[in-house]
């Protein structure tokens, strides 16, 4: 008998981990070749992982809901004959052998030493160099600070593993630098040091400061205390992986008993802290996994990064509803019955020709706004598994009948989880509607990096005065939430007045 180790494969460019949302096998199960093993979800797609061999499941690498690293041993299978190896295993073994012969820094020839940006956290592939503490030509001693490197998890002070003279710096302050890149080249006395001297000390964790200005870049940062005694005002020592786990679990690191050798909180300490937080009487804890976790993360990022404001306009849709009724009376049998939604989308498609700043994305990290000639509308759709946003592509080119067909197809695909990844991406703005449940006013959250989201509310009767007479009209509140970094309140108000004019005189949207 042999063993086959199935590793979590590389399932997308830039993807270093995935959440295992469902297991289709258990320990002891016999599986055939190509049988489903598990579902793995990234922020880009959900894929089904299948077995490349026949065998019996000996062990599973994690539980449902766990985030698992690419290349990790996901499933171990017992197979007939000798130990099975696939191409991925062989390639990984070769890579491992190569990695064992390389260090985080390396000799570049006699008298030179290259310091590479080290691996500073699980899943971290790059870091921003927020401050340099040296310049070309400086003489540095071993353990002297070189730079501060910041990831989304921590700020690290990088120190020199050797004494020498700075020959070159690999980037400028504020640049994002890849792990393993040649960060600093030093001139050293005699031959270059042996590689093992380069990893003598791990990077020191620094307090997470605000990003320094260039004028302050030469001020050395103060290394943290490594004493096992910590005052309440001192930052709790913990690795980036422990910090992420604590944040995801809602645990307060300061309440954990630090058992690490340098006074840091470990995963074992978090295990004890989690056990201490037992459910209260009557409390049911539901693990947040899968699509719900992704939705929560994206909503949190949107509210954290985008300064929202919402503008609401009341629109008289009496004529719009009468217009829709006339169209439905005269439609042919092969055409779907129109709801008010395709007419709203038609009005928006006409409107946004004059208001392209609402049909846009703000790429804040790159520092530019993209405006689009195509109107690719995300349609927020509630399903049994949560909120999904299929995309109605090039809506400005579609008739209201074709829109109705596409909206029905996308809604059905969303409910059955049958949409392709390309049908769920590429929106330039979004519309969210709860239909007859639409309430009076909504303040929808923007789908980052888009800059606006539109929210029609339910149509309701209202008594109004016309020529001294009380008459009943059909009205609807229409909301738009905007990114205030890109769109001003005045523009939102003017745009909504134009939308109101089209919806109150619906034939105009077909004359534009």
Is 352:359 a contact under the CB 8 Å cutoff?
A: yes
Give the full edge-to-edge strand order of the sheet including 145-150: 176-178, 126-132, 145-150, 155-159, 204-205
Q: Rounded to whole angstroms, how far apart are CA atoms 282 and 275?
A: 17
SS3 label, residue 355: coil
Tokens at 283, concatenated: 């409390």
Provide the residue count of the chain: 512
Residues 6+ apart with CB under 8 A from 59: 27, 75, 76
Is 385:326 a contact under the CB 8 Å cutoff?
A: no
> Secondary structure of 110-148 in the HEC alphabet?
CCEEEEECCCCCCCCCEEEEEEECCCCCCEECCCCEEEE
Query: Is 334 designated active site?
Result: no
Q: What are phi and psi of 473, to 5 degrees?
A: -125, 160
Is 447:412 a contact under the CB 8 Å cutoff?
A: no
Angle at 235 between CA 232 and CA 239, to 5 degrees: 135
Query: Is 308 designated active site?
Result: no
Q: Is the peptide bond before 117 cis (omega within 30 degrees of 0)?
A: no
Angle at 452 between CA 379 and CA 449, to 5 degrees: 85
DSSP per-residue string spanning 418-481: ---GGGGS--SEEEE--GGG--S---PPP-TTBSEEEEE---EEEEEEETTEEEEEEEEEEEEE
Nearest to 171 by CA among 214, 200, 145, 132: 132
Q: What are phi and psi of 348, to 5 degrees?
A: -65, -40
Nearest to 351 by CA among 389, 377, 386: 377
Q: Rounded to whole angstroms, how far apart are CA atoms 117 and 204?
A: 13
Q: What is the residue whose two structure tokens read 């909120």?
A: 387
Q: Which of 152, 268, 488, 505 is catalytic?
A: 488
Q: Is the peptide bond before 486 cis (omega within 30 degrees of 0)?
A: no
How far is C-alpha 485 from the chain's CA centre? Answer: 20
Angle at 157 between CA 152 and CA 163, to 5 degrees: 145
Is 445:299 a contact under the CB 8 Å cutoff?
A: yes
Residues 6+ apart with CB under 8 A from 266: 238, 242, 258, 259, 260
Q: Which of 484, 491, 498, 505 is catalytic?
A: 484
Q: Which of the residues are catalytic?
A: 484, 488
């Amino acid at each position: 008998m042999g063993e086959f180790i199935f590793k979590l494969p590389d399932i997308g460019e830039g993807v270093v981990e995935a959440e295992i949302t469902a297991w289709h096998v258990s320990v002891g199960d016999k599986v055939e070749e190509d049988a489903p093993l598990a579902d793995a979800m990234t922020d880009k797609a959900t894929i089904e992982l299948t077995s490349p061999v026949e065998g019996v499941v000996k062990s599973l690498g994690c539980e449902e809901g766990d985030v698992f690293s690419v290349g990790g041993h996901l499933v171990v299978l017992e197979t007939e004959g000798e130990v099975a190896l696939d191409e991925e295993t062989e390639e990984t073994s070769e890579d491992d052998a190569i990695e064992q012969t390389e260090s985080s820094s390396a000799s570049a020839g006699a008298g030179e030493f290259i310091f590479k940006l080290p691996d500073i956290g699980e899943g971290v592939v790059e870091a921003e160099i927020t401050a340099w503490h040296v310049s070309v030509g400086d003489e540095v001693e071993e353990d002297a600070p070189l730079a501060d490197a910041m990831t989304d998890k921590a700020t690290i002070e990088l120190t020199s593993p050797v004494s020498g003279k700075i020959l070159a710096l690999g980037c400028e302050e504020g640049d994002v630098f890849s792990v393993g890149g040649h960060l600093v080249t030093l001139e050293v006395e005699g031959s270059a040091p042996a590689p093992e001297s380069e990893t003598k000390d791990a990077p020191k964790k620094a307090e997470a400061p605000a990003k320094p200005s260039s004028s302050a870049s030469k001020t050395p940062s103060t290394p943290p205390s490594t004493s096992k005694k910590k005052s309440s005002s001192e930052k709790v020592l913990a690795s980036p992986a422990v910090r992420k786990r604590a944040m995801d679990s809602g645990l307060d690191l300061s309440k954990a008993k630090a058992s690490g050798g340098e006074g840091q909180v470990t995963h074992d300490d978090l295990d004890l802290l989690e056990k201490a937080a037992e459910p209260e009487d009557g409390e049911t804890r539901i693990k947040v996994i899968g699509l719900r976790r992704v939705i929560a993360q994206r909503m949190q990022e949107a509210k954290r990064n985008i300064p929202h404001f919402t503008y609401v306009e009341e629109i008289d849709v009496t004529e719009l509803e009468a217009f829709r009724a006339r169209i439905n009376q005269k439609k042919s049998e092969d055409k779907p019955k129109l709801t008010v939604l395709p007419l709203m989308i038609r009005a928006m498609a006409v409107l946004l020709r004059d208001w392209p700043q609402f049909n846009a994305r703000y790429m804040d990290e790159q520092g530019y706004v993209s405006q689009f000639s195509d109107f690719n509308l995300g349609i927020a759709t509630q399903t049994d598994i949560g909120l999904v946003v299929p995309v109605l592509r090039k809506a400005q080119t579609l008739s209201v009948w074709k829109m109705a067909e596409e909206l029905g197809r996308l809604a059905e695909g969303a409910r059955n989880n049958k949409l392709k990844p390309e049908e769920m991406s590429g929106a330039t703005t979004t519309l969210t509607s709860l239909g007859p449940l639409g309430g009076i006013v909504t303040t929808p959250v923007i789908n980052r990096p888009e800059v606006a989201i539109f929210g029609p509310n339910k149509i309701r009767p209202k008594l109004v005065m016309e020529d001294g007479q009380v008459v009943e009209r059909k009205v609807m509140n229409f909301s738009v939430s905007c990114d205030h970094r890109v769109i001003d309140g005045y523009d939102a108000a003017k745009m909504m007045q134009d939308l109101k004019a089209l919806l109150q005189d619906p034939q105009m949207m077909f004359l534009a």
